[in-house]
Amino acid sequence: MSIKDSLIQLEEVNGYLGAGVFTPQGELLEGVADISGIHFETAGSQVHDTLLSAQSMSKEAGFGVASTIQVDTELGIVFAKCFNEGGVHFHTVLVLKNDGNVAMAKLKLKKVVEAIKAEF
C-alpha cells in the first residue's frame, strides 16, 4: 500500500479536512487538504516545527519523548504524529473540523502511521 493509499483511510474520520506525510525537515511527501485560505504544504511545515518544539519541551520537562500533538484552533483540530524508529523518520499531519471525531482520528492516525512505515 502506498503512502497515498494509507492516507485515504483518514478520509473516513468524521470531520476530515486533510492529511499529509512530511519529512523530518518539514517537506511534504504526500497529502492534500481542502481548507479554504490555508496552503497545506506551508501549514504542515509549521505544524512540523510545533511538533519538534513539543518534543524538546517534553524531554526538558522530564516527560520523555513526545510522539503526538493535538492543536485546537478556530478552524479545526490539527494532529501531528512523529514516527522515528530503525532509521525511518516521518511526520503525519491530520486536520479535522472542530466537531470531528477526535477519538476515531487518534485511532486511525495510529493505524495509518503503522501502514506508512512499511513504505520506507
CB atoms within 10 A of CB 92: 28
- Residue ranges of the domains in the chain? 3-117
Nearest to 12 by CA among 108, 102, 111: 108
- Residues 37-49 pLDDT 10s: 677 778 777 888 8
**DSSP label at residue 74:** S
- Residues 3-24 pLDDT 10s: 999 999 999 999 999 999 999 8
Instruction: Identify the bridge partners of residue 21 per DSSP, sorted by sequence position.
Output: 30, 92
CATH of domain 3-117: 3.30.450.30
Give phi and psi for 7, each to the nearest 5: -65, -30
Distance CA 80, CA 78 (A): 7
pLDDT on residue 36 = 64
Does position 83 have pLDDT exceeding 90, yes or no? yes
Instruction: Identify the bridge partners of residue 16 per DSSP, sorted by sequence position.
Output: 96
Query: 44 in helix, strand or coil?
Result: helix
